Structure 1
Amino acid sequence: MSQKPKLWTKDFIILSSTNFFIFLTFYLLMVTLTAYTIDQFHTSPSQAGLAASIFVLGAVLVRPIAGKTINRIGQKKMLIISLALFMIACMLYFFTNSLAFLFLNRIIHGMAFGIATTATATIAAGIIPAERRGEGTGYFSMSMNIAMAIGPFIGLMITQYLSYTFVFVATIIFSIAGLLATVFIRIPSMEFTEEITKKGMKWSDFFEKRAVPISISVALIGFVYSSVLSFLTSYAQEIHLVSAASFFFVMFAIFLLVSRPFTGQWFDKYGENRIIYPSILLFAIGLLILSQAHIGAMLLIAGAIIGVGYGTYQSSTQAIVAKEAPSHRIGLATSTYFLFTDLGIGVGPFLLGFVIPYIGFRGLYVTMSIAAFACIIVYYFVHGKKTSNRTGKPLHAENF
């Protein structure tokens, strides 16, 4: 029996840590910036929401360019430059004296975030052994999932017991930690083909077509998940379960951590379909339980199930993108994937905000549960039917 190639190398651990600090900053600001904007500039809730979500616009604008240029500039160099800009944007929050400047800085911060996360995911795809793609991508994505739980928790604790100044101090500390860690990463050199070095303005120069089908499915799932990110707090206030809601993402992270060693290995052993179909199903069931929550325990159970479902789906689809793209176009594939993710999560709160007054929060999560079930059909047509359940390889004539 051949020994598996090593996954937990120094570079993989450092890169995962850097990714963790990036997303920790992102989620910490997402849960605090709306309230900060209202208190500091006396804005309406819609303007405050725009201050939070305009960050995603910056990331969307820059991802295609980042995917196109990352190999030309150099993966490590691009990561360091983006993290330096990320840190500067964190510092600029101290000098924000108008709403217009806040919007501008949020866009700049979003651009730095888009470049940095494209770079970390691209580098991870290159250093994870091909034989352990699903497992490795799952563990790498876990750095983001943990940040998803810790970031909001830290943000809420700071705003409850300290002041917004300490929120920005924390983001600076996290961004510096990510930047310093990156200096010690060693990235394997890659062969520069003519396709990498040539200049062009074609669609294929900014997007990887192999990543588009599965990314469509990811955008729809992200749209559904945005209902949890954006409206869980308001829903919890309405049903008087605010205390339980503060631990929703903690349960999300704990159960995702427990399941991750198994789901990643099963992805590599049995193929993506046997992991993704159950993960979407769990996500839908979790949303349905969330819609019917009347006690804290139900809210926490929903958090656990959604964590396993959404978290497993997210890491599995990212592994598919890395697996299907040629090595020299992994950067483009990664940027394409995250672009669709950003669009789904970014557009979701804006559109769903229009329907909440008519159907309420419980109706929202019932609707989102139905939409999640429908995503099983979408996944089947965009990717699942082209893939063997057992091997995860495309279905060719010789498989029959």
Structure 2
Amino acid sequence: MGIHGIKGASDVAIILAASFFYLASPMLVNPLITGFAGTLGVGVAITGLIGGLMNLCSLVVRPLAGNLSDLKNRRALSSVGAGLMALTCGGYALATSPVQVAILRVGNGVGYSLCSVCMFTWFASLLPAERIGSGTGLFGMMNALGMAVGPALGIAVQGAFGYRPALACAGVLAGACVLLVQFVGDSGEPSRSVTGAGPRRSVRLLDVRVVPVALIVTLFTIPYTATQSFIVSYAAARDARLMMSAFFPTYAVSLLALRFLLRRWFDTVGFGRFLVAASISALGSFALLWRLGGNAALLVAAALMAGGYGIMCSACQAGAVRIAGKEHAGLANSTYYMGLDLGMASGPMIGGALIESLGMPALYPALAVCVPMAVTVWLVARRSLFVTQSRRDGRAT
């Protein structure tokens, strides 16, 4: 898997396995929670709000999680986060009112924020500087696997046994994460340069140096989450009788393959080259989705979306840690995730607004504007951030 030769490789492997379980848990819940809330007697607008509460909560909690992961023991923080996810997912299975589900969604968002920031920060702290990029690719592979298995498992269990047993499964997955992190030998104590003597470090909301990276990942995330929300409706409106259920599994498999094949390139190829390749891939995906010319084109569009959005997630996360330095990886990672959360929360809203104002056929041409916007952010920021960082690492931009 590419971790041979790393000191503490067994610890790295355990954290990778735990990262699969922590992400599979909310990914299992996401496609079910709005439908489950609907069975409790609320309308579509309220179910949509309940569905988005987790990411909105995550956006608020990220700065605290980032600061804590640079200052406190990461095993303890990851255990608390995954434990909270397990409790809230178990709570979904017992909930009897939409208010209870909404409260549990907020708690789930807090746990998810702690887990996502602290576990990657802990993982990155175990890697040598020259392996941050390939390590991020491996971490992304496990995340992609969780994104593929979680929804598939949830939909299968819900279809066979109903909503409540399926939501309880999400609690079991989060519980497995809690168990696994107890076996990591390195407990994730923060660097003494951050926690040692000297002026008390102030709490910061984000790492300003990483903001351009966060904006770029936001702009790539918006079309992806809009696609998640509307691709079935889009195909129906276009009267396209295609295998829409194959789109996201194809995306996940393609992303796993790409992240494995490119895992070492994240350490040797400059950010700008990744951005150019991902931009071309994303635009190709949007063009194929706009035309919807058959099942083969649909599957190619899914693979190209993996080469666009999926690869930029890894490139941006690795870039964020390099820009800030490993000793500030927690805040850098939380800033990156804030960009991701912003894209996930706003993508469905932007997609809906575009469909309502421009009509369904205009969705993908309008979403394509996000790509040149992301390139513009890079062109503006590259001299102050990416070029400086690349010179320090001896890499090209």
TM score, norm. by length of structure 1: 0.90
Q: Does 1:340 align with 2:343?
A: no
Tell me the amino acid that sits aligned with residue 116 of structure 2.
Answer: T
2:375 equivalent to 1:392: no
Aligned equivalents of 1:385, 1:237: Cα separation in 2: 46
Report whether the alignment pairs 1:382 with 2:377.
no
CA contact (8 A) 2:206 2:331 kept: yes
Partner of 1:360: 359
Distance 1:275 1:7, change over 3 A: farther
1:321 and 2:316 aligned: no
Equivalence for 2:223 = 224
1:130-168 CA-partner distances (Å, limit 9, x unpaired)? 112211101111111122222222233233333112211
Using the TM superposition, name which of 101-110 and 253-262 deviates more: 253-262
Determine the C-alpha separation between the residues in 2 that align with 1:56 and 1:70: 19
Residue in structure 1 matched with residue 19 of structure 2 by the alignment:
19
Residue of structure 1 in register with 2:33 after alignment = 33
Superposed CA offset, 1:360-390 (max 9, x none): 333112211232243222222233785459x
1:191 aligns with 2:197: no
Match of 1:167 in 2: 166
2:110 aligns to what SS in structure 1?
helix
Show CA shifts across 1:249-291 (max 9, x none): 2111222222223323223223222222201221121122112
Matched ranges for 1:239-250 at <5 A: 239=238, 244-250=243-249
Asked if structure 2 preserves the Cα contact closer than 8 Å seen for 1:207 and 1:336, the reply is yes
Report SS of the residue matched to 2:93.
Answer: helix
**Letter of the aligned partner of 2:12 in structure 1?**
F
Deviating more after overlay: 278-287 vs 367-376: 367-376
Structure-2 change in CA distance of 1:139 and 1:351 (3 Å): same
Q: Could you tell me how far apart the structure 2 residues matched to 1:284 and 1:196 are?
A: 48
Size of the aligned set, in residue pairs, is 391
Matches of 1:31 and 1:82 in 2, distance apart?
21
Within 2, Cα distance between the matches of 1:221 and 1:302? 15
**Alignment-mate amino acid for residue 28 of structure 1:** L
Please state how far the C-alpha of 1:393 moved relative to its aligned partner.
3.0
On the 8 A contact 1:128/1:137 being kept in 2, the answer is no
Distance 2:314 2:346 in 1: 21
In structure 1, runs of 5+ residues without a counterpart are none
CA distance 1:290–1:194, change in 2 (3 Å):
closer
What SS is found at the alignment partner of 1:392?
helix
User: Aligned equivalents of 1:241 and 1:23: distance in 2?
Assistant: 32
Contact in 1 for aligned 2:17/2:142 (Cα 8 Å): yes
Letter in 2 for 1:137: T
Q: Secondary structure at the match of 2:262?
A: helix
Give the distance between the partners of 2:260 and 2:290, measured in 1 at CA.
29
Question: Is this contact kept in 2: 1:219–1:343, CA < 8 A?
Answer: yes
Q: Matches of residues 110-129 of structure 1 in structure 2 within 5 Å?
A: 110-129=109-128
Aligned counterparts of 1:193 and 1:147: Cα–Cα separation in 2: 34
Q: What is the CA–CA distance in structure 2 between the aligned matches of 1:163 and 1:74, rounded to whole Å?
A: 39
Inter-CA distance 384–360: structure 2 relative to 1 (3 Å threshold): farther
Q: Kindly tell me: are residues 238 and 85 of structure 1, through their superposed partners in 2, closer, same or farther at Cα, counting changes over 3 Å?
A: same
Report the secondary structure of 1:186's partner residue: coil
1:67 corresponds to which residue? 66
Mapped to 1, the partners of 2:82 and 2:285 lie a distance apart of 35
Q: Is the 8 A contact 1:270 1:392 kept in 2?
A: no
* 312-321 or 262-271: bigger deviation: 262-271
Paired residues of 2:73 and 2:189 also in contact (CA < 8 A): no
In structure 2, relative to structure 1, the CA distance for the partners of 1:102 and 1:222 (3 Å cut) is: same
Q: Which amino acid aligns with 2:391?
A: K
1:393, 1:46 → 2: CA distance? 50
Alpha-carbon distance in 2 for matches of 1:386, 1:69 = 25
**Percent identical residues:** 24
RMSD (Å) for aligned C-alpha atoms: 2.6
Tell me by how many angstroms 1:12 deviates.
1.5
For the residue of structure 1 that corresponds to 2:368, the secondary structure is: helix
Q: Which runs of 4+ in 1 moved over 4 A?
A: 194-202, 239-243
Contact 2:281 2:308 in 1 (8 A): yes
Residues 285 and 305 of structure 2 are in contact (CA less than 8 Å); yes or no, is this contact kept in structure 1? yes
Secondary structure, in 3 states, of the residue corresponding to 2:264? helix
Matches of 2:133 and 2:373 in 1, distance apart? 24
Conserved? CA contact 2:266–2:318, under 8 Å: no
Residue aligning to 2:131: 132
Shift, 1:173, TM fit: 1.7
* Structure-2 separation of matches of 1:355 and 1:168: 32
For residue 248 of structure 1, report the CA deviation from its aligned partner: 1.0
Question: Residue type matched to 2:11 in 1?
Answer: D
SS in 1 for 2:67: helix
Change (3 A) 1:393 1:355: same
- Residues 218-243 of structure 1: per-residue CA shift (max 9 Å, x gap): 12222222212222232244345676
User: What is the TM-score when the length of structure 2 is the normalising length?
Assistant: 0.90
8 Å contact kept, 1:54–1:103:
yes
Unaligned runs of 5+ in 2: none
> Quick check: 1:134–1:267 contact (8 Å CA) kept in 2?
yes
Aligned equivalents of 2:214, 2:296: Cα separation in 1: 34
Which residue does the alignment assign to 2:287?
A: 288
Paired residue for 1:146? 145
Is the contact between residue 215 and residue 341 of structure 1 (CA under 8 Å) also seen in structure 2? yes
